[in-house]
Structure 1
Amino acid sequence: MPGDAGQDAWGAAVSDLPGRAPAYGCCAVRRGLPRHTPCTYTICTASVRHPYAPFPAPNPPYLTLMRHVILALFLALFLASPLAAQEVETDLELVLLADASGSIDADELLFQRQSYAIAITDPAVVSAIENTLYGSIAVTYVEWAQNQATVVDWTIIADMDSAVRFAEALIGPPRQASGRNAIGSALLYGKDQIEGNDIRGFRRVIDFSGDTMGNSYGPPITVARDEVVAAGITINALPILRNESFQNFDLPAAYEANIIGGPNAFVMPAQSGPEFTDAVRRKLILEIAGTTPQTEFASLLLDSLDARE
């Protein structure tokens, strides 16, 4: 038909244009359809790209490699993060924060360490640890003055052997904290030690001991105390009473008003000298048990301790 010839010529002319498909017949033959079947979008997409459809964007090899590298880096960072690290669960995270300021001479510093070493290895203390919910506690010993120094890093104590290892590590290290008093900074340092470890304690406690309320450096004591307590950490205090000083100053009352805080917080005074070791032992037992000296349970614990002696 003449019309057919005209259509063939027009279709051929259009098909010669660069980037254009014929108006008809472009895929009809390929699909086994009559020669003059109009070339519709549905037919074309079954065999060839539609003339106005965008070319698919292939992934260059470098892009695929980059994706693999990013994925590998993400996995490595996740596995190295604290969230992926296996945390040790224990009943109590306990920071023993001991006074090493200028009022504590070398002999007194050693005596304090020995007192804590004797107390932590006392059978009654070890028994209290073994009878906790998790059967263990985590302990670190820190000395404070103008600066702070960790003497024994975090140690899991679950039995007498681990208690002895902690005690042995406590005696030898040289003094690293010295100078005047910075109680506020010491409390915040204790908080940082708890929040920066890889241990998850059911309870978290700072056991602060000292013979002064002086605070020559760092933040105010009450400001630091409030920050520690807001982080869910209890502060207990052991004021060391000296016969030759502070006779007209109620140190236990000052510690109760300005230092302690949090659930079951308490003050347990101690005389310097032989009574100090016994006070440390009693304080540890109460902290491990999660109680205060005023409770009936505490009275039973301490009475049983006295009965053993």
Structure 2
Amino acid sequence: MLNLPHVMTALLLAGGMSLWNGAAAPAETRVDLALVLAVDVSFSMEPEEQDLQRHGFAEAFQSPEVHRAIRQGMLGRIAVVYIEWSGAFDQEIIAPWTVIEQPADALAFAERLLQSPVHRMSYTSISGVIDFGVRQLRQSGLQADRQVIDVSGDGANNTGRTVTQARDEALAHGVTINGLPIMLTRPSSLWDIEDLDLYFRDCVIGGPGAFLIPVQEKAQFIEAIKAKIIREITDQSLPHSLVQPAQAVSSANCLAGEQRRHQPAGR
């Protein structure tokens, strides 16, 4: 039997209908959360790390905890799009907007992630994927109580416009940006920066309830991704051991990546 709500959603998405700017939306397009998963696939990410990251997101949507979190929402459904990114114009939609209401929806979304190859690209443009994520939200045809862009990455913005410009414009549209700074190795090249978590705190995340979860060991990766997604779905606080507020007194340098652009090698 056809799932009519999901068919209607697909037709709206295909038609490019925008339901922003206060227009009334059919019940099928209303969701508790519109979530953009923006995943770094720049060359600085090792293939093993990229594979672990992809499986982490897939396992999250396979988990009963995430299914339960979705059901607890006011409407009991969310919408998710999965994007891989690197440079300023290097963004690829791996899984398009998908309304997830039943566990079967989440399992199908996870399977799509597992079946899609991972692409590696050069440079790191957090600003580019924030801008791209905002466009996806505008064009989604969804009416969401909350809009979130979830950025994972292992480096600072080093191409495209400055990350703070993109962040501030996204926040002005009512979008929250959360972060998953990947800190599995010590900085080892001229493109690396110290304290990536502080950079994400000061330069990337923002909006109501914004948070970050640094990943410093591979063993933390999958659990951190699941905890972050549950936190985004439920809009509730996580244990202090997972969500780490900034510790430094001084602010991070939000141009740390751009200042390395004179080097011949890119990430």
TM-score range relative to shorter protein: 0.7 to 0.9
Relative to structure 1, is the Cα distance of residues 249 and 133 closer, same or farther in structure 2, using a 3 angstrom cutoff? same
Task: Say which of 259, 263, 275 aligns to 2:208.
Answer: 263
- 2:148 corresponds to which residue? 205
CA contact (8 A) 1:260 1:266 kept: yes
Shift of residue 174, structure 1, vs aligned partner: 2.8
**1:283 partner amino acid:** K
8 Å contact from structure 2 (residues 184, 215) kept in 1: no
Contact 1:184–1:225 under 8 Å retained in 2: yes
Tell me the equivalent position of 2:256. Answer: none
Selected match of 2:168 from 221, 226, 230: 226
Root-mean-square deviation (Å): 2.3
Distance apart, 1:158 and its partner CA: 1.2
| Structure number with higher relative contact order (C-alpha < 8 Å, ≥ 6 residues apart) | 2
1:287 equivalenced with 2:228 (yes/no): no
Residue range with higher mean Cα deviation, 84-93 or 183-192: 84-93
Secondary structure, aligned partner of 1:116: helix
Paired position in structure 2 for 1:249: 194
The correspondence for 1:104, drawn from 29, 45, 49, is 45
Instruction: Pick closer, same or farther for the CA change 1:127–1:226 going to 2, 3 Å.
Output: same
- The match for 2:220 is 275
How far did 1:277 drift? 0.4
Q: Which moved more, 1:81-90 or 1:127-136?
A: 81-90
Among 37, 42, 56, the alignment partner of 1:115 is: 56
Q: List per-residue Cα deviations over 1:286-307 (Å, max 9, x = no partner).
A: 1111134379xx9xxxxxxxxx
AA aligned to 2:212 is V
**Counterpart in 2 of 1:135?**
76
Structure 1 residues 266 and 85: CA distance shift in structure 2, 3 A: closer
TM-score of the aligned structures, taking structure 2 as reference length: 0.75
What is the number of equivalent residue pairs in this alignment?
217
Bigger share in helix: 1
Mean CA deviation greater in 239-248 or 261-270: 239-248
Identify the residue that residue 164 of structure 1 maps to in structure 2: 107
2:60 touches 2:225 (CA, 8 Å); kept in 1? yes
How far did residue 82 of structure 1 move?
4.3
Q: CA deviation at 1:132?
A: 0.4
Alignment match of 1:216 (pick from 141, 147, 158)? 158
User: Cα distance, 1:81 vs. partner?
Assistant: 5.8
Runs of at least 4 residues off by over 4 Å? 79-87
Q: Deviations over 1:119-175 (max 9, x none)?
A: 112111110001101101101110110111111001111121111000000122233
1:174 aligns with 2:148: no
Which AA in structure 1 matches 2:184?
R
**Is the partner of 2:94 in helix, strand or coil?**
strand
Q: Return 5+ residue gaps in structure 2 as ranges.
A: 1-14, 244-267
CA, structure 1 residues 248+262, in 2 after alignment: closer, same or farther (shift >3 Å)?
Answer: closer
Task: Report % sequence identity.
Answer: 36
Partner amino acid, structure 2, of 1:123 = P
Tell whether the 8 Å contact from 2:25 to 2:143 is kept in structure 1 after alignment.
Answer: no
TM-score between both structures, scaled by the size of structure 1: 0.65
C-alpha contact 1:89 1:200 (8 A) present in aligned 2 = yes
Amino acid at match of 1:192: R
Change (3 A) 1:277 1:85: same
Q: C-alpha deviations, 1:185-244, integer Å up to 9, x for none?
A: 11111111111111111100011111111x232110000000110011000001111233
Q: Residue type of the partner of 2:234?
A: A
Distance change >3 Å, CA 272–CA 196, structure 1 → 2:
farther
Q: 1:225 to 1:248 in 2, by over 3 A?
A: closer
Secondary structure (helix, strand or coil) at the match of 2:194 reads coil
**Mapped partners of 1:128, 1:196: distance in 2:** 26
In the alignment, the residues of structure 2 paired with residue 129 and residue 218 of structure 1 have an alpha-carbon distance, to the nearest angstrom, of 35
Asked whether the 8 Å contact 1:266–1:293 carries over to 2, the reply is no
Is the deviation greater in 193-202 or in 267-276? 267-276
Aligned 1:35-74 pairs, distance under 5 A? none
Counterpart CA distance in 1 for 2:109 and 2:40 is: 19
- Tell me which structure has the larger Cα radius of gyration: 1
| CA distance, structure 1, for counterparts of residue 119 and residue 58 of structure 2 | 19
